[in-house]
Amino acid sequence: MGTVFRALALGLFLSSLLFSIAISEPDDGLIRIGLKKLNLDQNNRLAARLESKEGEELRASIRRYSPRGKTVNNAETDIVALKNYMDAQYFGEIGVGTPPQKFTVIFDTGSSNLWVPSTKCYFSVSCFFHTKYKSSQSSTYKKNGKSAAIQYGTGAISGFVSEDSVKIGGLVVKDQEFIEATSEPGVTFLVAKFDGILGLGFKEISVGNSTPVWYNMLKQGLIKEPVFSFWLNRNVGDEQGGEIVFGGSDPNHYKGQHTYVPVTQKGYWQFEMGDVLIDGKESGYCSGGCSAIADSGTSLLAGPTTVITMINHAIGASGVVSKECKSVVDKYGQTIMDLLLAEAKPKKICSQIGLCTFDGTRGVSGAIESVVDEKEGRSSGMSEAMCPACEMAVVWMQNQLKQNKTQDHILNYVNELCEKLPSPMGQSAVDCASISSMPSVSLTIGGKKFDLAPKEYILKVGEGAQAQCISGFTGLDIPPPRGPLWILGDIFMGRYHTVFDYGKLRVGFAEAA
């Protein structure tokens, strides 16, 4: 699932990719691997180049890297420390082969495969800037050879499957299938501060039906409890970036009890979420329930564009004017208002006015034929974007009518929301000086409200006059039956310690400590 926002240009500081390792085994029986923090080089022009043209192609460094939907150790727990790169990438170290060849990887709950660059990657520039696996140097390597390819939200890799031992913390998983990446086209992984990805999702979304590392940990009896948990440290200045614990959780990193919700669909760690509140007021968008996933591989918090736009409007985020949206409001705003007041069914309104075709559950863009303007001699047909724009306008107006706003106020409000729609790249920027006055945003999970304060949902890049602040909310529209779907990435998981309970098929959240 891809979080999407303004391109970011990152300087490549190759010498800083190697870190010393501190291994300790305290009396609590947990195996910890300490990693030094990656310091941001002062020469990095990220903030200053946020709006640059070349930066448009490099935004993937803080976006999501998991695929789109089609696509015996005596210790009871194993702990892997994580690095935090600008609150946007969290990665830790693993070893592949015997002796272990070290790689930094994203531990990604939104995908299920393990891959690292291969020495046979000859023609992708990205491979030259990252550690590569050498099968000839491993005594436990086994040839497989099946071809494999993964299409991510912000990039792609392809290569072939191999088998070898994988060391994670103090555990060694034997005969693990993984992908040797021989092609990493584009710049997505070129600017990444990690070498590969280790997926922690369910086997149902594993490319090539490979058994995920997590499954083999359990099968080989390496951990006692079928649970793993994430603590993501959102303090960029701290040495430790976070921690993933296999086999349990560390009570030092959360407060109180976890609120658990059942997994509703295996693949991603998916569960049901209740309504979204903006400054304590219900948006009404998820009053009937929405699906969500907890995704450590996504930097931001993604959701349906309709309600994301409402949030970004409330926090003062600026986007790009949507001509289709403003056109719908200008031509059909009053009609939509009248139909809502007449208590027409909201889901059918856009089909009633001819902008959508109702499929029984929702409106879909119809094949609206263009007509020729005889005077101007040009096509003046409806854009397919008019249908989703109309449906957004219906939701926005319905929300305002529930608050007893006047019709003039509602039309002005909806026009303002149109202007807050994010750009095609998905980003929305805010004034850094206004963070303290922004409203809270809350998600309802398991009947409990989980609040996000402005300092927790704004990603600040740079310092002083060069600082840029980006909204942590980005629009991503996934159609039924899979969607609408919310993706709770690092913005949320940094605020709330997250437990992934494979044994009881549930996800738990508690305030991070």
Q: For residue range 103-130, list pLDDT tens digits in order.
A: 999 899 999 999 999 999 999 989 999 9
More confident residue, 37 or 186: 186
Give the active site residue among 78, 295, 490, 501: 295
Is 15 inside a domain boundary?
no
Compute the distance between CA of residue 241 and CA of residue 304 in angstroms, rounded to an integer.
30
| Domains of the chain: total | 3
Handedness of CA 346, 351, 355, 357 (dihedral sign): positive
Let me know whether 168 and 88 are in one domain. yes
Let me know whether 269 and 349 are in one domain. no
Q: Are strands 290-294 and 485-488 parallel, antiparallel or unpaired?
A: parallel
Q: Would you place residue 88 in the very low, low, confident or very high pLDDT band (cuts 50, 70, 90)?
A: low
- Which of 371, 393, 418 is the C-terminal boundary of a domain? 418
Let me know whether 398 and 465 are in one domain. no
pTM assigned to the model:
0.74
Is 70 inside a domain boundary?
no
Is 189 inside a domain boundary?
yes
Is 314 inside a domain boundary?
no
Let me know whether 42 and 176 are in one domain. yes
Active site residue 108: yes
Compute the distance between CA of residue 442 and CA of residue 395 in angstroms, rounded to an integer.
19
Is 28 inside a domain boundary?
no
Let me know whether 104 and 212 are in one domain. yes
Give the active site residue among 108, 195, 275, 490: 108
Which has the closest alpha carbon to 202: 505, 508, 509, 493?
505
- Cβ-contact 112, 201 below 8 angstroms: yes
Let me know whether 270 and 152 are in one domain. no
Q: For residue range 211-260, list pLDDT tens digits in order.
A: 999 999 999 999 889 999 999 987 766 767 888 999 999 999 999 999 99
Compute the distance between CA of residue 160 and CA of residue 121 in angstroms, rounded to an integer.
11
Domain extent at residue 265: 251-306+428-512
Across-strand partners of 176?
164
Q: Would you place residue 80 in the very low, low, confident or very high pLDDT band (cuts 50, 70, 90)?
A: low
Element (H, E) at 259: strand 254-262
Is 145 inside a domain boundary?
yes
Residue 21 has pLDDT above 50, yes or no: no
Average pLDDT over residues 145-173: 90
Active site residue 78: no
Is 232 inside a domain boundary?
no
